[in-house]
Amino acid sequence: MNKIPSAPAVEVVGLKPDLDVKPSPLNAVLIAEDDPIFRRILESWFKKWHYAVTAVGNGLDAWEVLQTENAPQLAILDWMMPGMDGIELCRRIRGRQQDSYRYVVLLTAKDDKQDVVAGLEAGADDYLTKPFDVDELRARVRAGKRILDLQAALIHAKDELQFAAAHDPLTGLWNRGAILDLLRREVSRRQRSADALGVIMADIDYFKKVNDTHGHLVGDAVLEEVTRRLTVGVRPYDAVGRYGGEEFLIVFPGCSAANLIVSAERLRHCVGDQPIETSAGLLPVTLSLGLSSVEQGEKETTDCETFLHHADEALYAAKERGRNRVEMYLASKAAARGGE
């Protein structure tokens, strides 16, 4: 049987990884072992098993590696190491908050039952006593890998659920609830910082006619392309959401009224300057946009509902005045209308 001696005198050679097999992100392992020959043996085996290997000779270096971004999720630790032993390393790993679990196998020449218990209580997931059979090591590692793969699948499923809960399934934009939450947060932040804040309500002109004439599949294609053009036309830190049907809500943090008008005109041209290619042919599509904003340093408090109401009023005005245009809500004009 192929066993690792507790103090090997020769280096194992001839065990080379298959270079055609690329390790997956989870196929990474940290080996912490102070004996250089023993470390090389382990390194050779794990490379043969298609793992990306990070090998260090003491516990302090191992702890430094484990604190880096995308550190290996599988760790093979020797019990006795300079700087920091495997037991202390296990305790630190378990004492640190992290998003994903790290599977730890402890290696040692100690075989007393109390030592085994001490290692597991320190946070090790598995324990191998030197010398051990290489096939047993591989079987233990496979068991740990199954746990890590299951964790990765669960994290992926959780991320997908979180994305679905906050995004529109057709366009991939923030859904109505999520974009309103973002607006509320920006309004709250603005009340503390007195920064400028702009909001745009955008609506696709005559969209019902597109659906009625060409069908909902063509309508969906139009929505998707309008979404693409809108997201290209905003800044990275602006937020675009599907407010409902063919209507979009766009939040512009730190944007003055003058810059908001410039941004809105840019979006109008992004959508309207080129027809959209669909299965029904090229369709001209335009946007009407209603704007609402507060300036930097403006002391008057504007809540989320007021922003929406003002932007909606401006959008209504854009529709009334011929569509394919930008209208800014002006409190002075609104007050004048109220006094008529």
Write out the catalytic residue numbers.
246
User: Rounded to 5 degrees, what are φ and ψ at 24?
Assistant: -75, 165
CA 122 centroid distance within chain: 32
Residues 6 or more apart whose Cβ sits within 8 Å of residue 280 = 213, 214, 215, 218
Closest CA to 76 of 121, 127, 19, 131: 127
**Rg value, the chain, Cα:** 31
Local structure of residue 80 (DSSP, 8 states): S
CA distances for 53 relative to 26, 66, 94, 173, angstroms: 11, 13, 22, 40
- CA 160-67-80 angle, to 5 degrees, is 125
Local structure of residue 249 (DSSP, 8 states): E
Range list of β-strands (E), 231-315: 239-244, 247-253, 276-278, 281-283, 287-294
